[in-house]
Structure 1
Amino acid sequence: MKDARVTIADLKAMKARGERFAMLTAYDYATARLLDEAGIPALLVGDSFGMVVLGYDTTLPVTLDDMLHHVKAVVRGTKRALVVADMPFLTYQVSVEEALRNAGKLIQEGGAQAVKVEGGADVVPTVRRLTSAGIPVMGHLGLTPQSVHQFGGFKVQARTLEAIEQLIADAKTLAEAGAFAVVLECIPAPVAKVVTKSLSIPTIGIGAGPDCDAQVQVIHDLLHLIPGPLPKHAKAYANVGEMIQQAVAQYAADVASGTFPTEQESFRLPKGVTPDDVAALGAAAGGED
């Protein structure tokens, strides 16, 4: 069916056919609706909204309640796209059972169809438990933003042979544990190519070169909504931030000059009521003062 919701099986089938697909972040109803109607098959409600929407320096302050709020909005804006919800920092690291409860909320209360967790071998027991409970899980390797302090900043990962070997092993382990896809963030392109060829599940790149099965970008980067330089891995397909600033400046100028609103943006009196009637009411009110 044309409007049927995309499933994890659909994404796996796209990988098997060699059909690449695009994924984008979405954090609100309006954006989700636009992306869904544009045909984007998968949307990520990333904890990156902590930075691009809420203004934090990292994703770490994002809470489960924050995530639920945004996931619900995105789900309401979609009919077809698979909606994946990030699990925020410390919602899945404390214990496997707590991770299950929190992931369950994102699915049951938030309406997401899948969750995403960061990490390799350390999160494998969690991935196994969630998938055994019927919760689809997307993995995330390479630059995992929730580990920013451990990495010493947002830096390219897998920079040594040992680290590359570990990342490849982690990717295979995540797939074996039941992950339906894995995000590869900010790693050398040749490494991502090897991982992609070694897995039967889709790889989704962000700063991982052209050989991944899919690509994901932050919508604010794609549209250049926030002024300033973009990350190296991002490409602005439109400068919407500049367009917004120009539109707002024109609006302010029109208000100041009196050219907005016009009659076209104004409402008329109902039938049987004339401007003189209203003026008389105004005069009477003024007389009482």
Structure 2
Amino acid sequence: MKTSGPVTVPALAAMKAAGEPITMLTAYDASFARRLDTAGVDCVLVGDSLGNVIQGRDSTLPVTVEDMVYHTAAVRRGLERALLIADLPFMSYHDRASAMNAAAAVMRAGAQMVKLEGGANLSETVENLVANGVPVCAHLGLTPQHVHRLGGYRVQARDDGPARRLASDARALEKAGATMLVLECVPAPLAREVAKALVIPVVGIGAGVEVDGQVLVLYDMLGISSGRAPKFVHDFMAEAGSIEAALAAYVAAVRERRFPTTDHSWQ
């Protein structure tokens, strides 16, 4: 059931408590943002994935704070209901001052939450942002800004040691004040365990259906990204026939827990 009125940070917590799945998609401009809002998407993420799908780059690493500010402001103009989240790009939060400056820039552009990639090592950064009024979404598992260290885009935390570290990082980030957690490309049983252990909502992308919500890159779920689609992606446009119908189908599938299926997940 669609949350009435604008989606807020407390509303997301209430959705988790009520067992109501959270729907999230990326957007990078006002036109698409307006369509996501009309479809009832709960959270719109201005992802640094714009480096791939908008700028045609092979990673998110070249994306700058200025890029994020520009696209966040554009998306903000298309929204009335959905909560707007913006990524902090690569090397923009490596110390306290940088994190504060980057967060201030995207929040002034219209973001209502920022997302950053990393584990317990970011606890102090998260605490400082939250203490200064910035809601934070953490991101664990496959973290695209660390693609070179990870050795490529692949499923994470399949073995016991990395799985335990991920679960520990999730608890540390929640304790530091994170409002939400994105888990990307981790085995579904681990994602389920983390979602049950945390009070904050856990939104998955390639993390199975037993979490508190789902997120996809908009261009992926419309089937217009270049290259081979990741395992966790479903092309909703192929069956729907229009952008509006595809968005409605995605929202319904997430809310009814029909997406993702086991074919989109790792066990």
Partners of 1:227 and 1:92 in 2: CA distance: 29
- Which residue matches 1:15? 16
How big is the shift at 1:5?
2.5
How big is the shift at 1:102?
1.2
How big is the shift at 1:3?
7.2
Partners of 2:111 and 2:232 in 1: CA distance: 27
SS at match of 2:117: coil
Unpaired runs of 5+ in structure 2? 244-267
- Which residue matches 1:212? 211
Contact 1:225 / 1:239 at 8 angstroms: preserved in 2?
Answer: no
- Which residue matches 1:31? 32
Partners of 1:161 and 1:57 in 2: CA distance: 31
Partners of 2:231 and 2:68 in 1: CA distance: 27
Partners of 1:21 and 1:202 in 2: CA distance: 8
- Which residue matches 1:96? 96
Partners of 1:226 and 1:24 in 2: CA distance: 14
Partners of 1:227 and 1:103 in 2: CA distance: 30
SS at match of 2:228: coil
Equivalent residue runs for 1:82-121 within 5 Å: 82-93=83-94, 95-108=95-108, 110-121=109-120
Equivalent residue runs for 1:7-86 within 5 Å: 7-86=8-87
Partners of 2:4 and 2:27 in 1: CA distance: 19
Contact 1:143 / 1:154 at 8 angstroms: preserved in 2?
Answer: yes
Render the CA deviation track for 1:203-245: whole Å, top value 9, x for unaligned.
00000011110000011011101354311000000149x989x
Whose radius of gyration is greater, 1 or 2?
A: 1
SS at match of 2:163: helix
- Which residue matches 1:181? 180
Render the CA deviation track for 1:231-266: whole Å, top value 9, x for unaligned.
1000000149x989xxxxxxxxxxxxxxxxxxxxxx
- Which residue matches 1:166? 165
SS at match of 2:237: coil
- Which residue matches 1:278? none
- Which residue matches 2:131? 132
Partners of 1:149 and 1:221 in 2: CA distance: 22
TM-score between the two structures when normalised by the length of structure 2: 0.87
Moved beyond 2 Å, runs of 4+: 2-5, 226-229
Structure 1 residues 227 and 48: CA distance shift in structure 2, 3 A: closer
Partners of 1:21 and 1:134 in 2: CA distance: 23
* Superposed CA RMSD: 1.6
How big is the shift at 1:96?
1.0
- Which residue matches 1:238? 237
Render the CA deviation track for 1:154-202: whole Å, top value 9, x for unaligned.
0110021110000000001111111011000000000000000000000
Partners of 2:185 and 2:140 in 1: CA distance: 9
SS at match of 1:83: strand
Partners of 1:112 and 1:88 in 2: CA distance: 14
Unpaired runs of 5+ in structure 1? 245-289
Structure 1 residues 64 and 227: CA distance shift in structure 2, 3 A: closer
Amino acid across the alignment from 1:66: D
Amino acid across the alignment from 2:158: R
- Which residue matches 2:191? 192
Aligned-residue identity in percent: 49
TM-score between the two structures when normalised by the length of structure 1: 0.80
Partners of 1:243 and 1:115 in 2: CA distance: 31
Partners of 1:53 and 1:124 in 2: CA distance: 31
SS at match of 1:238: helix
Partners of 2:14 and 2:35 in 1: CA distance: 25
Partners of 1:133 and 1:63 in 2: CA distance: 23
Partners of 1:130 and 1:12 in 2: CA distance: 19
Amino acid across the alignment from 1:15: K
SS at match of 1:170: helix
| Count of residues in correspondence between the two structures | 240
Partners of 2:170 and 2:113 in 1: CA distance: 18
Partners of 2:5 and 2:92 in 1: CA distance: 31
